Amino acid sequence: MPYPFTEDDKMYEVIRTDYHLLNMMSRFGISLGFGEKTIGEVCEMENVDTTTFLIIVNYLRGIRDTGSYIYEQLSVSTLITYLENAHTFFLDFQLPYIRRRVIEVVDCSSENKIGMLIIKFFDEYIAAVRKHMLQENTKVFPYVKKLLHGERVEAYDMAIFSKGHDMIESKLKELKNIIVKYYKTDTDVNQLNSVLFDIYNCEDDLRAHEEIEDNLFVPAVRHLEKTVGNLSGTDSNKTKQDEEQLSAREKEIVQCIVRGMTNKEVAEELFISLNTVLTHRKNIARKLSIHSVAGLTIYAIVNDLVKIEDIKVGK
């Protein structure tokens, strides 16, 4: 485990330790050329909250302090600037750059179905990322800025963050699978590999961005909501609403499934057809956004639908 940076460490040490942190530096609006200045001195010069800078830099290096006091220390306005700059980087630079490179390397002529599919997928992926980030820019950040001014406004559902992140990640995974598994090419394999490296790097960068949003920004906003008295957008309310949306029959089905019953056994137990069980299962998955028995099991335990001792392990 690396040691955490403090405000007395030299700023150049940050880049020397990990060059990936260059991106982070520019998202804080810090330019290079800081000579022998310390992190604290550079942050003060550049009007960046030192504590927030240190929490992010250490978080990106894998030193993740999850104590709740951390959310009180984070400067939410500094975080918003950081996230907005990251959005500009992804949308205006990184993703268009990778798209240009994919088009250079992948045969997109109408004879090459896989090539066309790759471009189509990539465009869909960029559109999904753009939609998600613009939603954050135009809905989430303005909401949080109002909170920062002490305004009590209609709460924004912060759970939208993680839902959007899951979707973005699964789309990119699919794209990489298509390229790696099915794309055969006469073009230079080194060129194709280098595009793949760009995609993998971008994926890592996006994942780190999403983690900062989920694990630092959202909890800091929740803390702010509590301070201002804007409480209706919290997780606990969300879980309760979701549970209430399940009908009594759907809850019975969840109870059967997590006890290890097959669909046929559920149908017999509840005197309904197999098709009805399948329809209920689809609706349950849609309502809860949970698609595995393992996930349903956790849901059922957390919401007191079953007791842990009723769960069959290994089925």
Q: Which residues bind Fe ion (CB under 5 A)?
A: 136, 213
Of 91 and 103, nearer to Fe ion (C-beta) is 91
Nearest distance in Å: CB 164, Fe ion: 6
List alpha helices for the chain, DSSP H: 11-17, 21-27, 39-45, 50-60, 69-73, 76-88, 95-105, 113-135, 141-148, 160-182, 189-212, 218-228, 235-245, 248-258, 263-270, 274-288, 293-302
> CA dist 96 to 114, 132, 201, Å?
21, 16, 14
Of 160 and 228, nearer to Fe ion (C-beta) is 160
3-state secondary structure 24-54: HHHHCCCCCCCCCCEHHHHHHHCCCCHHHHH
Nearest distance in Å: CB 147, Fe ion: 18
Of 105 and 220, nearer to Fe ion (C-beta) is 220
Nearest distance in Å: CB 281, Fe ion: 30
- On whether the CB atoms of residues 151 and 228 are closer than 8 A, the answer is yes
Distance between CA atoms of 52 and 264, rounded to whole angstroms? Answer: 54
Nearest distance in Å: CB 70, Fe ion: 20
Q: Which two tokens stand for residue 165?
A: 């992140």
**Which is it for the CA torsion 67, 69, 73, 76, positive or negative?**
positive
Q: Which of 121, 268, 250, 261 is nearest to 180 (CA)?
A: 121
Of 136 and 225, nearer to Fe ion (C-beta) is 136
Nearest distance in Å: CB 83, Fe ion: 5
Of 192 and 208, nearer to Fe ion (C-beta) is 208
Nearest distance in Å: CB 166, Fe ion: 11
Of 49 and 213, nearer to Fe ion (C-beta) is 213
Of 213 and 225, nearer to Fe ion (C-beta) is 213
Nearest distance in Å: CB 229, Fe ion: 26
Q: Which amino acid is at 192?
A: L
Distance between CA atoms of 42 and 25, rounded to whole angstroms? Answer: 11
Nearest distance in Å: CB 212, Fe ion: 8
Of 155 and 208, nearer to Fe ion (C-beta) is 208
What is the total residue count of the chain? 315
Q: Which two tokens stand for residue 197?
A: 């490296």
